[in-house]
Amino acid sequence: MTKVQEINFDGLIGPSHNYAGLSLGNIASSTNAGEASYPREAALQGIAKMRHNIDLGLAQGFFMPLDRPNIAWLDQLGTTIESSEPHVRAAAYSASSMWAANAATVSPAQDSEDGRCHLTVANLQTMPHRSHEWPGTLAQLRLVFANPDHFSVHGPIPSPFGDEGAANHMRLCPSHGEAGIEIFIYGKSGGPFPARQHVEASKAVARKHGLQDDHVIFAQQSDKAIAAGAFHNDVVAVANEQVLFAHEDAFEHRDDFYAEVQRKFPQAEIITVPADKVSLADAITSYLFNAQLVTLPDDGGMALILPTEAKDNEAVWTYLQELVSGNGPIRKLCPVDVRQSMANGGGPACLRLRVVADPDAVDQRFIATPEKLDAIAGVVEQYWPETIMPEQLTDADLLTSIKNARKALLETCALTDLAT
């Protein structure tokens, strides 16, 4: 019996979590710029989500936060924490690696020609604060997925082609352990906002992962969605096994795209949420599609692990209740509180990277258990700053406490190999 399953690796929310308004086109990031953040509460919310998913019977892993502020990056820019401009300093401090859906694009072994799971670290080059994540993320991926019989970890796609990882990638398959089709969503123009995923990068990732042409689709995200604040496809669409769940306005050439999906994967069940039931604006503020759409064990059907904001939005919640009361594949709604991450535009799905693999093939230090999460929560309680205002980022004591917090976490998780 195959032990291959979907493992969700969540990014642990780092001690420097703050609201600096760094992401143009991400409405929550802009709206909350300058507000006080609560790193301790943020990290505990993320841990509670992981516990919730373990309780559902799902396989769970985690990634360590990156070393922030990134002094080496400031040094490359010829500056320091004290002397840099506020937006550059904030970029060096950003805890943005928490959004693990942007860590890499992942193609399971079943889809690739060499029978290994391929991961390409995302270059995240469109946003300055995210563009310096990839070296730290790559070092971590090479540790987690070090087993060369099972995994192949690739460096970033070169500039100028923007790549934002799994947030713009979906997979349809009969079940996780079987071969499927992979869908790469790219942007062209988002009007006032940048299109962060470039088609050239998507095509390069598909080639490097050894995917067969007839199992791959490249489709354009609608300009309308990007202009409305869907800076990644996972803000307006999500897929799991045979189900594609998307907003009516998610894709630029929807009918052509759906026809290609049906041709390449005839079992596909596409659930389109009409704009007259849930407007694009409601979809984006509630993050209904930034849910983890998961398959529950023991034939439990599929569940949507949603942000509580989806429950708070009347139109969205009414639609969702109709959806689960029907005869469709999605049977359960699980709201989780990740408000601290949501205030920077990161919902439940942003916080995790899905990897279909045998959990035994992964470095076990990154696999979550309730006991490990207790130990991690203990470190967070003791070391994570309670609150940060963006103007505090010049404070030397804050810097020391953030560095010490990560050091304590790495020691607790026996991951001091990631210290630098």
CB nearer to ligand SUG: pick between 94 and 140: 94
CB nearer to ligand SUG: pick between 81 and 408: 81
User: Within its chain, how far is the Cα of 207 from the centroid?
Assistant: 22
Q: Which of 4, 7, 13, 20 binds ligand SUG (CB under 6 A)?
A: 20
Is 164 a residue of the active site? yes
Contact status: 181 vs ligand SUG (CB under 6 A): no
173 vs 195: CA distance, rounded Å: 28
Closest contact distance (angstroms) between CB of 164 and ligand SUG is 7
Q: Which stretch binds ligand SUG (CB under 6 A): 7-15, 79-87, 343-351, 377-385?
A: 343-351
From the list 164, 182, 248, 309, the catalytic residue is 164
**Residues paired with residue 246 on neighbouring β-strands, in sequence order:** 237, 272
- What is the footprint of ligand SUG within residues 223-242 (CB under 6 A)? 231-232, 234-235
Helix and strand numbers (H, E) in the chain are 15, 15
Supply φ then ψ for residue 200, to 5 degrees: -60, -35
302 vs 418: CA distance, rounded Å: 36
Size of the site for ligand SUG (CB under 6 A): 23
CB nearer to ligand SUG: pick between 22 and 368: 22
Helices (H), 326-393: 339-342, 370-383
> Beta strand pairing status for 117-121 and 352-357?
unpaired
Is 176 a residue of the active site? no
CB nearer to ligand SUG: pick between 234 and 309: 234
- What is the footprint of ligand SUG within residues 21-40 (CB under 6 A)? 21-23, 26, 29
Closest contact distance (angstroms) between CB of 321 and ligand SUG is 25
From the list 129, 169, 209, 232, the catalytic residue is 232
In 3D space, the residue among 373, 304, 298, 358 whose CA is nearest the CA of residue 10 turns out to be 373
Closest contact distance (angstroms) between CB of 236 and ligand SUG is 10
> Exposure pattern of 174-206 as b/e (b: 16+ CB <10 Å)?
eebbeebbbbbbbbeebeebbbbbbbebbbbbb
- What is the footprint of ligand SUG within residues 365-394 (CB under 6 A)? none
Instruction: Please report, for residues 19, 28, 69, 393, the alpha-carbon distance to residue 93 in angstroms, rounded to integers and kept in the order given.
Output: 11, 18, 4, 8
Q: Which of 96, 112, 295, 340 binds ligand SUG (CB under 6 A)?
A: 96
Is 232 a residue of the active site? yes
Sequential DSSP letters for 197-242:
S-HHHHHHHHHHTTB-GGGEEEEEBPHHHHHTT--SGGGTEEEETT
Q: Which stretch binds ligand SUG (CB under 6 A): 67-75, 143-151, 341-349, 393-401?
A: 341-349
From the list 117, 173, 350, 413, the catalytic residue is 350
311 vs 314: CA distance, rounded Å: 7
Q: Which of 116, 130, 169, 406 binds ligand SUG (CB under 6 A)?
A: 130
- Rg of the chain on CA atoms, in Å: 20
Q: Which of 7, 167, 302, 398 binds ligand SUG (CB under 6 A)?
A: 167
359 vs 371: CA distance, rounded Å: 17
Which residue ranges make up the site for ligand SUG (CB under 6 A)? 19-23, 26, 29, 94, 96, 99, 101-102, 127, 130, 167, 231-232, 234-235, 344-346, 350
Which residue numbers are catalytic? 164, 232, 350
